[in-house]
Structure 1
Amino acid sequence: MVFTIKIKNAGKVQDVTLEDTDTGADFKLKIQHQTNIPTDKQKILIKGGKLNDDSVVKDLNLSQPVMVLGTPNNNINKVEIPKQVFLEDLNQNQLVKVSDEPSGLVNLGNTCYFNSSLQSLYRIDDIREGLKTANSTNSFVNSLKRLFDMMSKKQERINPTLFLASFRENFPQFSEQDNHGFYKQQDAEESFSQILNVLLESIHMKGKLTINLKTESKCLALPEEPVVTGQEDALKLMCHIDIKTNFLRDGLLNGLKETLIKHNDTLGSDAEYEITKTITKTPKYLIVHFVRFYWRRDTQKKSKILRKVQFPFELDISEMLDESIKPTKAKFRDDLRKIEKDNFEMVRDFKKAKKDDSLSPLQQQEEDQLKLESIKSKFEDDFNSLLKEHNIDEQLDSLTENPSSVYKLSSIITHAGSSADSGHYQSFAKDEGDLEDEHWWKFNDEKISRVSRDKIEQLSGGGESDSALLLIYKASGL
């Protein structure tokens, strides 16, 4: 809400336009713009005492003109004060910025690991929506709920101090300080995982994120022994990196097979066992962890594997599936690709369509939004029809499992540097408003910018620059 305050300076009364959230510092800056009196030279007389920089102006008693004293400096470089404009007056590019740009998070001192974790968790639709309706007695969950509520309002920058305090209280390992009393840099993957583990139970996310695996254990020294089968759950697929790992697929397949030593009763001694895992349930969201950090005893630090490992925007995990589900997942995948092709052609036609010059920017935005909603609605109808054809009783909006084997990349947490406890973490997320997946958001703490798909492809590593650490995929079509 905009309001006006009168100031009196050099015998003249002038109007200063402010907004509800403006502080004393903002007020002084606008006075400088109108009077040329530098902010540090201003003497502002208000009823009740001094105007502090952090005071919220609308809460002060300013019904009478405010007296401003000070000597103007006509050579001062004026700070440009944004002119008040109405939504109807903005062009299309400005409208996108106003309506779509997400919130940044202030770095509170080596908290980029924390901010990047929060931005990626916020991009998981079901976590965001689940927190909105959560009725929890857990203060940690409620604190995160309040923070996400602030982020949903798309403020320019948000200070996450309250949730950071709750986070460190619940996980004291993130309160570690150096010899100078400063909080240390931490591992974003550990931060992400700790927060996620709390949310799994509190907002019932377990079914949408948990991977079910079948394990087969075979003794290599006694191949005639029966294979022992079992089951286990995981929240992430591990991409193990060695000198032969060039692509995500290679690392994931390596992560589903391991060799270990354990006691064999028949031999009466230890023996080598090969453990093979296959996926028996494909969750709605698939989290992939590049295992880039390892502990070096000589430096007493988590060092980083700098090898370049390419990852796809579309991940098909069919060769990692158990034979019990592979045929049905592959059939749904092939049928889904047909309706996705139709959807892509509709989006392409929409992009090529000529704009109506008789519409205002706001009217054009509303018209475009209606067309996009129509395209989305048709896709949802086609998807629900496909579920019926495959005898799946659920609807699109209630699915917790991926009916196919294909996932689309949704967000990324990256690390720049050579060790986990130094360097810089950032996150990147797909712009959900872009149906062609060409534009992404880059979250560098409070600094938010748009980047192209080409930039995302450069996050595969190969040096100390930004390297993907966590990938969050979402089931194709969901």
Structure 2
Amino acid sequence: MNATVQCLKMVPELKKSLVELRPQGSSGLVDSLSEVFRSMQTGSCVPPLLLLGALHRAVPRFAEKGPNGGLCQQDASECWTEMVRLMQSGLPAQNSNKHNSLVEQYMGGRMSVTLQCTESDTEPPLVSEENFLHLSCFIGQETGHMNSGLKAKIKEQISKMSSSLSRDAVYTKTSLIDRLPAYLTVQFVRFYYKEREAVNAKILKDVKFPLQFDAWELCTPRLQALIEPTRAKFKEIEDQRTQDALEGKDKPKPSKGVEPMEVDKDLEAQPYSFTDDPGSNNSGYYELQAVLTHRGRSSSSGHYVAWVKGDSPDTWYKCDDDVVSPVTDKEILKLSGGGDWHVAYMLLYGPKVLKVPKKPAEEPMSEN
């Protein structure tokens, strides 16, 4: 639970909404989360007893106890899912009439799903929409990178009843994203049920993940056309930086400890959402904000830890309950698996923000 809260805190809009939430005087999870987030503003350790009690009341199975009388270890992805679900019904959307909740607005995406019968040339395709709050990265024998795990689910073969053939037939299911959320959650499907031991065993396979993620290949042609203008602006800025570097005009990279505002004082951040859809991502570009890891061999044992991005370049923080220590990008990338070290289980990506040079202020006209 602690690791999940530390990761979700990396969504600024979610954090702000919870901090500013007017207490309802209830013992519900959203009220308890609000109190925890307000207390965390002080930078001191926050005993999560009230939040734990609220979670147990909202999701009774999380209160199950083992033979020794202690609480059973719970799957962090289930805790993440339940917390997000409860916040979905407790936090209203902001400045949007397209969404019912803040969670749906900033963390929810929409998938366009097409089913095409491969055994009939006359049967029209079935097109539907599915909402999602996270993407699943399935780990197969050939999966060595998060991108390939996500792309593997774009096209798959399924069997279903065909209305035109009046029998089961093979269909090609194509799933593409038609709405990207500002904050994209990716779950590595690392656990599977092992009948002999009756445990959710862990897949330790090394699966790399990027600090910067481009969702372009996962999108529908419609969405690709919508995000192309912002992507072109990103390319324009990068091309200019390359040109400046070749001409010796590039600025030195900021060193550790330099505040971002000092580095970016000549740059102006541009909106990362579409004007008519606040909470969306208008470029398809993401930057990793948080990693929730698991160390152990099954979901019911081991230890969960949160790793969250800091404000300075190449600075992260390992949040192991109440012990917080600084780490680097390199150490984050070592969380890809392959052994008994901490292994990435849930990833939280935030929008890559386009920053352009500020326009010089116009000088006031002198009166003659």
CA distance in 2: counterparts of 1:280 and 1:123, whole angstroms = 24
CA-to-partner distance for each residue in 1:222-269, whole Å, 9 max, x for gaps?
244221111111011110110000111110012333332221222222
Q: Which residue of 1 aligns with 2:37?
A: 148
More helix, by proportion? 1
Task: Show structure 1 runs of 4+ deviating over 6 A.
Answer: 340-347
Check the 8 A contact 1:210/1:234 in 2, yes or no. Answer: yes
CA distance in 2: counterparts of 1:257 and 1:272, whole angstroms = 13
Question: Which deviates more, 128-137 or 311-320?
Answer: 128-137
Q: Which residue of 1 aligns with 2:318?
A: 442
CA distance in 2: counterparts of 1:259 and 1:160, whole angstroms = 45
Q: Which residue of 1 aligns with 2:19?
A: 132
Q: Which residue of 1 aligns with 2:129?
A: 231
Is the aligned partner of 1:351 residue 2:254?
Answer: yes
Q: Partner amino acid for 1:470?
A: M
Is the aligned partner of 1:421 residue 2:304?
Answer: no
CA-to-partner distance for each residue in 1:352-381, whole Å, 9 max, x for gaps?
79xxxxxxxxxxx9xx65xx4365464335
Name the SS for the 2:53 alignment partner: helix
CA distance in 2: counterparts of 1:297 and 1:310, whole angstroms = 29
CA distance in 1: counterparts of 2:22 and 2:212, whole angstroms = 35
CA-to-partner distance for each residue in 1:436-468, whole Å, 9 max, x for gaps?
2x1110011111100111111111111232111
CA distance 1:142–1:352, change in 2 (3 Å): closer
Q: Which residue of 2 aligns with 1:41?
A: none
Check the 8 A contact 1:238/1:288 in 2, yes or no. Answer: yes
- TM-superposed CA distance for 1:339, in Å, is 4.0
CA distance in 1: counterparts of 2:67 and 2:139, whole angstroms = 34
- TM-superposed CA distance for 1:347, in Å, is 11
CA distance in 2: counterparts of 1:135 and 1:329, whole angstroms = 36
Q: Which residue of 2 aligns with 1:53?
A: none
Of 233, 241, 245, the residue aligned with 2:143 is 245
CA-to-partner distance for each residue in 1:169-200, whole Å, 9 max, x for gaps?
11011011111211111100110111111112
Segments of 5+ residues of structure 1 without an aligned counterpart are 1-113, 354-364
Equivalences for residues 46-445 of structure 1 within 5 A: 114-135=1-22, 137=24, 139-155=28-44, 157-203=45-91, 204-339=102-237, 349=252, 351=254, 372-373=260-261, 375-376=263-264, 378-381=266-269, 383=270, 393=275, 399-432=278-311, 434=312, 436=313, 438-445=314-321
Check the 8 A contact 2:294/2:343 in 1, yes or no. Answer: yes
TM norm structure 1: 0.66
Check the 8 A contact 2:123/2:164 in 1, yes or no. Answer: no
Segments of 5+ residues of structure 2 without an aligned counterpart are 92-101, 355-368
CA distance in 1: counterparts of 2:262 and 2:239, whole angstroms = 16
CA distance in 1: counterparts of 2:77 and 2:204, whole angstroms = 17
CA distance 1:458–1:130, change in 2 (3 Å): same
Q: Which residue of 2 aligns with 1:361?
A: none
Check the 8 A contact 1:136/1:202 in 2, yes or no. Answer: no
Could you say which structure has the greater relative contact order, defined with CA pairs below 8 angstroms and 6 or more residues apart?
Answer: 2
Is the aligned partner of 1:472 residue 2:317?
Answer: no
Check the 8 A contact 2:178/2:223 in 1, yes or no. Answer: yes
Name the SS for the 1:180 alignment partner: coil
Equivalences for residues 35-54 of structure 1 within 5 A: none
TM-align CA RMSD = 2.6
CA distance 1:223–1:304, change in 2 (3 Å): farther
CA distance in 2: counterparts of 1:315 and 1:352, whole angstroms = 24
Check the 8 A contact 2:254/2:263 in 1, yes or no. Answer: no
CA distance 1:403–1:343, change in 2 (3 Å): farther
CA distance 1:254–1:122, change in 2 (3 Å): same
Equivalences for residues 454-469 of structure 1 within 5 A: 454-469=330-345
Check the 8 A contact 2:294/2:344 in 1, yes or no. Answer: yes
Q: Partner amino acid for 1:379?
A: L
CA distance 1:172–1:334, change in 2 (3 Å): same
Q: Partner amino acid for 1:421?
A: S
Largest Rg, 1 or 2: 1
Q: Partner amino acid for 2:111?
A: L
